[in-house]
Amino acid sequence: MPRLTINQMIDEVIRKEGGYSNHPADKGGSTNFGITEAVARQNGYTGRMQDLPRGLAEKIYRDKYFIKPGYDQIHLLSVAIAEELFDTAVNMGVGVPGLWLQRALNLFNDAAQPLVVDGKIGQATVLALKSFLNRRGTEGEVVMVRALNCLQGARYFELAETRPANRAFIYGWIANRVGV
């Protein structure tokens, strides 16, 4: 399996997210390439969202959704897990997939010293993942991605059940974000 680069992952996310959107049920409001107006403004963009440069969207994805949360460290151990964490961060926020990874590692590793489940990918989380992958190999990588997808799918159902406006998105979320 070829190693996906961050640029390839970003291209795939932008393909899924599409171009400009301003869906009335979307709490994120006006978006382009999946970047919300609030995130664009936080990153210095002052123009119309319809005109957001793709290069800026790519930079935001790289910096905010891949490097800052530490998925670049995970990428060194497992491209598949890093890709899943990155895609989920784009769709649910950067803290969420880190929490799920830590929860899964605590259960799969059954460690005497469990990870603190804080969503932050630091040295302890990286070492726990490395230990898990060393013990479980390729099959463990597949199982971890499945576990992350299970948690993601369950969260989408919770979002649609607690906020009826999200029902407009549930089918697409499951179809495009939850892999098997």
pLDDT in tens, 105-155: 999 997 778 999 999 999 999 999 999 999 999 999 999 999 999 999 999
Q: How far is it, in rounded angstroms, from Cα 156 to Cα 159?
A: 5
Note the pLDDT tens digit of each residue in 72-82.
999 999 999 99
pTM of the model: 0.90
Q: How far is it, in rounded angstroms, from Cα 170 to Cα 159?
A: 8
Cβ–Cβ < 8 Å for 28, 105: no
Q: Would you list the domain boundaries of the chain?
A: 1-68, 70-180
